[in-house]
Every structure is written in structure tokens, then in C-alpha cells.
Structure 1
């Protein structure tokens, strides 16, 4: 494999291998054609040399479709257009999201992946049996869930420590260490590409020093709450796909926020992991109702949260936020969960806007799903609140693909 000094890079050069930053983060895939924007990013990441192949003759080759055939690109465009209910993007950042999603889908198609199409998705809901009436009012669901899912004492202590300004890093590390399974997950996360630290993090105290005591507490709370729901089995919902979507939103959210406010990485990661926890409660206590809502939303080409509000009077975000409040989670987390779909239209701050953007990106790049095939577009107000340039979108998705796989496997191995 031939390497070229970063100072000798030119537009049009093609990578002969995946490009990885010194901290272990994925930057660009093998086969990517370098642009001036790519080269600038490579320099920012601190890469000193780059694997490149001799660039092919570019005469007559269209820039955007160079890696994929026209038939693959057209199929990818049709899939993403259908994701947005057949509505083309209406403003510049949504055009960029659409373009990034098309290229990501084309890449998957060229690798032999078969993206989930609406006709296949709908076939899962053709035979939903009748049964006794299910309680679907908010208070009944909260009462039922509160009785079934109780956080162990160690999590209550972590939550208390997070709220106390007097808690030291050593105290928080000691609390997390009391739960062996939780400690194992936290250590794996600390050693993952999410942080990209040199050397091995082999103790919770070291992880606390690396991540920060309060940040680690937030991460621990997010991880712990997901463990309460890992055993749910719903006939009409692919739970592996559900958890992959949750992890995808978490990874994309933390990558996006790291470009603006690195101190919020753990908060956004935890929020991403938990953003659909209310839907899990609905799956557990009202499975037939939810199956019908999924079928109806798909038939009408609507995102599922639209149908939830129309029929139930609330959406899964509101239910999830209320659950976290009952479990005494920090308001900074519960409020993000409670309003993550409303933030598509009326964002309150950068964190809520980033979570909403991550949810849309994870949905349209087919990184798992939580029961909704169709996606709603972001509003201009949401992206403005996120305060990020649209140029980060393509790099974020490429970086996320590697991390999603790594962290998904990490959680799969922790049950």
C-alpha cells in the first residue's frame, strides 16, 4: 500500500485503504476520492500520511456518482425519497441530509446490503390478533411501568451523586464499581472509538479521570436504564433493530455535539440510548395497540410519533420523559427525552436540536429502527439551534458507521 504525506495530497486522489485518525476514529473509507474539503479535514485530524492509489482518469466522470453505477444511485434516491413520504427536501440542509443518505444507501447497496423497503416493513403487520382492551392512558402506563422497572440502589446513589456538587471522582468511581456488569460496559465504552484514547483504560477510576466524574455518572445512568428493558420481546417489532437504532442515535448525537460542545458528549450519548424508552413501555403494556398504530402510520406514510399523538394524545417521548422523572433522572436528560420529536419544529437549545437531528439521520441511513419506517424532515429552526455547518453531515455519518457497529456489539455482548 502506497502512502503519501498529507502535505502532498491533491484533489482527485483515491484512498487505497480506510483512513483512520491517530486517536482511532474512522475518517474516510477505502475508495473515497479526496476533495479540498476532505484534505483540510484530514489535516485537522492530525493525520501525517495517507494511503492512496493512482487516481483514475477523471475525464467525463461525474463527481457525485464516481463510485456507484447510475442504477444503484437511482435505487438509493428512490429509497430515501420514500423515507420522506415522497416529499423532496425543501431547504439547503435537508438537501444535504438527503444527499448524504442517498450516498450512504448507495454504498450499502453496492456492498450487497438489502435496505428495508416499506412493502416488507408493512408485511409484518398483516395479521394482528384481537384481544382484551389495553390501557393506554399516560397515568396507567406510568403506574404499570413504575411497578415493573425499579432501578437498583446503586443507580439511585449514582443519580444522587450526579446532583451533588460535593461528589468527588473517586466517590463516583466507587459507586459504579459496585455493579460488575455496569463497570464492564463503562470500561468497554472508555476503550472504544467513542473516546479514541491511547493505551488501555483498565479501571473505573481511570475511566472517571478520562471522562470526568459527572459525565461518567450520566453515562452510567443511561446504560443502566436500557438494561431494564433488554428482555422485552414483541412479535411485530425487531428488537435487535430497535436497539441498533437507539445506539445509532446515541453515536450520531455524540459525534455532532463533540464538534460544538465536547463536555456534552455523555449527556447526548445517554439521551440517544434512552430517546425511545417510552416506546418500549408502550410495546410492553399495549403491544396490540402499538402494532396497529405502526401499521396505520405506515399505510398513511406518516412517522409513528404523529400517529401516537393523534390516537393516544401523547407520544413516546413524553411518556419516556415522565418515566425518567419518576426514576429521579436529571432534568437535563428527562427533558431531552420528553421533547425530542417536538424539537424538530421548536428547538429550545443546542442539545435538543442535536438529538432531533441525530434521530432523523439514524432513520434515513437505515441504522436500525424503532417501529417507524417514515421520517419527518428537520425544520430550519432546529438546525439553526444546533449551530453546526451542514459540511459536518457527511463526515459524521462515515465516522458513525464504524462506531455504531463497535458499540452495538459491545452492548450485545453485555446481556
Structure 2
């Protein structure tokens, strides 16, 4: 008996053992003689190889050796940026998923992008001349106030909330507000026509789209689109905004998938919190780029997560800054709290809910789904993850669901 790659299967070969799909379902029994139709269907079902009487495919051994080599290389790469899992089954599972994803990428592309891998400088970089620690809480307040003056939050979000909260509002009233914002209109129609909703025919009517997506999801969409507009002008020399929003969208999608898996109510707020969790870092890129780039250099030298070095240099970090900005914008408190606690959920008032965004950020960072500037992924808050109550075995399904949605949701937000 030998294993034969699906590419090498021939008509007339006889199965030595039952053939199963990747999900484990038997599709052909032992002793069955293969036909051309069978072989075509195997490829559709995702079958990679079969056990066949009297044949063995030597190329499979070479493939397995290559996979083993790339897994080892992927494990070494992931260890460069991920926190050590130790004996924690949860973190071991996160690392395993990331390692397999990196190995697949290595097999396809031969390497990973250079910015993913931490490169420690040869000598210690100087600390920024203007030490932000001297600013304290007053400095954070001034940064936020100046940001609010610089760019007022788009009125469409607050108008939507006003109409939605009105007892006499209707989908038609809401659609009128949406229709006045072309960017929001396009994103709404893209989202409602995505595979997330799965309608067989295209939705072109704004009132119908509003009815389908729901008011809570609509206000979440408006808030997210508005934030993208506000920070569109951050210079590319400081941060790759495409990668930043990829990271943000992925974190939002993962947070929503996790919240749904845990049957938490109002999962759209987790999506918004995940999407906006690093908005404070955009303020720093926008207003004090010399301090943040200095912090990034120090994070590489010290081999620490960026938010820790932000605190060292500024006296506060981007999560607290983002929470304060969202308070100035009058964003609902539950979303603000999730943003502010995403690096330290155990210290928040609701560690179980804050752990949703914390875990989403951890997964996004280890999987390298975009980046917001931090090369080293922060340690997990293990206490909060225990409160969360998600089984390690559920992580693979969570990541698989999010992977299917991220690219399409990203297109819905970022034209």
C-alpha cells in the first residue's frame, strides 16, 4: 500500500483504504476502482492524496519533507514576534495556527514581508529629545483637544444616532441621511451585497439595505467610515495606512466572530471597538510623529511591545488616548471602554468583554494580518482570557471564519 498524490492518480487504480474529505466524510470505500470522474471530483472536494494498492508516490515524501522544513522555519519566524506560549494551551493553539499559516505562505511565496520580522538595531537609538513623560495627563488632554479642533467628526454619525433614537423614525428617514453621504452609501451597499449576508440577488435600494443591515450595524458602519475619513491624511513615511486599516479591520472582524461564538449581545460594538482600537496611535502619528517613531525605534531595541514604550516615553499609551478621544466625540461608553482596555482587560470594569478585543488584537498581531506599528506582539492577559471562557479548540474555527470575511469587509470600508 502506498499514498499517491491526487495529481498522480490514474483511472483503474484501486483504493486500499476508504477515501475521506478533509472534513472526515467518507466519499469512496476501500476496493473501489478509480475513474476519471472520481479523480476530478477529488480535486473539487479538496482531497490531496489517496492510499492505493501497489503504488506509492515518491513525490509525496519530498512534499512532506518540504512541509516539515517550512513548518520549522515558520515556527522560528513566529517566535520572533509572538509572545512565548509556555504551557498555556490557549496560547499554544494561537502559536500553532499562526505557524501553520506562515508555513503555507512560505510554501507559496518563499518568504514573508521584511517589516514583519523584528530587526534589532546594532546600537541603542537615542530617546526623543522631547520626553512625553513630562506632558502627563495634560499632554494627552491637549493632544485630544487639538485633534478635535483639527478635524470635527463627520456629522452623519450623530445625525443617524439622533434619528435612530427617535420613536417616530423609519427606514426611509434613515435612508435619507445615508443618501447624503456618498461614501457611506457605497460602503453600505458593498457590505450588504457581501458574502457576509449572502443574498442571491443584488441589493441596490438604500431603504432595503438599511432594513437588512439593521440600525445598530448601520451606526457602527457610519462610525467606522467616519474614522477612516478623519485620519486619511497621516503621512505614509510614518505608517503604511493600508496595512494599518488591514490590521484594524481584521481585529474588528475577529472581535465580532469571537463575540458571536460566545453569544454576547450587540456584537457590532465589538466590531467597532476592534476597528478603532488603535485610533489613539493615529493621533500620535498625526500630531507627534517624532515621539512615536522614536518609540518604535526604542521598541525594536528593547524588544518590547510598542504600547509599553509609548508609556515609557509619553507617560500614557495609545489605548488610553483613543478612549479619551472617543469620549470627546461622544462615542457610546461601552465602545470606549473596550478600546481603552484592549491591552489590559483585567484592569477594566468588564474584563470578560474587554478580553474579546484583547484576544482579537493578539490573534491579528501573531497572524500578521496588517500592522499598526508594533512589531512585537504584547503578552496575553491570561486572567482575562480565562474569564472570557472560549475553549482553545474554538480558535481555529474563529480564525477560519474571520479569514473569509476580512478581505470583503475591508473592501467595504476602504474604497
So what's the TM-score if we normalise by structure 1?
0.79
Q: Which sections of structure 2, spanning at least 5 residues, go unmatched? A: 1-5, 7-16, 26-43
**Are 1:188 and 2:190 an aligned pair?**
yes
Paired residue total: 371
Cα deviation code 1:201-229 (max 9, x no counterpart): 22232222222112311221122122211
Are residue 89 (structure 1) and residue 86 (structure 2) matched?
yes
Contact kept? 2:74, 2:102, Cα under 8 Å = yes
| Contact 1:219/1:269 (<8 A) preserved | no
Contact 1:244 1:368 in 2 (8 A): yes
Greater fraction of residues in helix: 2
Q: Does 1:104 align with 2:91?
A: no
Q: Does the Cα contact within 8 Å between 2:120 and 2:300 map onto a contact in 1? A: no
Q: Give the Cα–Cα distance (whole angstroms) in 1 for the partners of residues 211 and 124 of structure 2.
A: 53
1:56 matched to 2:54? The reply is: no
For 2:201 and 2:268, locate their aligned partners in 1 and report how far apart those are by CA, in whole Å: 21
Quickly say closer, same or farther: Cα 1:253–1:130, change in 2 above 3 A: closer
Change (3 A) 1:130 1:74: closer
Structure 1 residues 54 and 113: CA distance shift in structure 2, 3 A: closer
1:46 matched to which residue of 2? none
* Partner of residue 47, structure 1: none
1:287 aligns with 2:289: yes
Please state whether the residue corresponding to 1:53 is helix, strand or coil.
coil
Would you say the 8 A contact 2:280–2:319 is kept in 1?
A: yes
Shift of 1:196: 2.9
Within the candidate set 259, 272, 275, 1:273 is matched to: 275
Which is greater in Rg? 2
Could you report, residue by residue, the CA deviation over 1:156-190 in whole angstroms, capped at 9, with x for unpaired residues? Answer: 21233455566544433332222111111121112
Query: 1:258: how far off?
Result: 2.2
The equivalent residue for 2:11 is none
CA contact (8 A) 2:125 2:298 kept: no
Map Cα deviations across residues 269-323 of structure 1 (whole Å, 9 max, x no partner). Answer: 2112211110000001110110111111122221111111222222111111111
Cα 1:119/1:373, change in 2 over 3 Å: closer
Instruction: Choose from 42, 47, 71 the match for 2:69.
Output: 71
Partners of 1:126 and 1:235 in 2: how far apart? 22
- SS of the equivalent of 1:140 reads helix
Q: Hey, what does 2:210 align to over in structure 1? A: 208
User: What are structure 1's unaligned runs of at least 5 residues?
Assistant: 2-9, 15-32, 37-49
In the alignment, the residues of structure 1 paired with residue 343 and residue 221 of structure 2 have an alpha-carbon distance, to the nearest angstrom, of 22
Distance, in Å, in 2 between the alignment partners of 1:146 and 1:272 is: 21
Q: State the TM-score, normalized to the length of structure 2.
A: 0.79
1:191 Cα deviation from its structure 2 partner: 1.6
**Partner in structure 2 of residue 143 of structure 1:** 145
Tell me the CA shift for residue 197 of structure 1. 3.4
1:358 deviation in Å? 0.7
Moved more, 107-116 or 74-83: 107-116
Cα displacement (A) at 1:57: 3.5
Aligned residue number for residue 12 of structure 2: none
1:232 aligns with 2:223: no
Give the conservation status (yes or no) of the 8 Å contact 1:13–1:52: no
Matched, 1:34 2:23: yes
What is the match of residue 366 of structure 1?
Answer: 368
Per the TM alignment, residue 374 of structure 1 is displaced from its structure 2 partner at its CA by 0.9
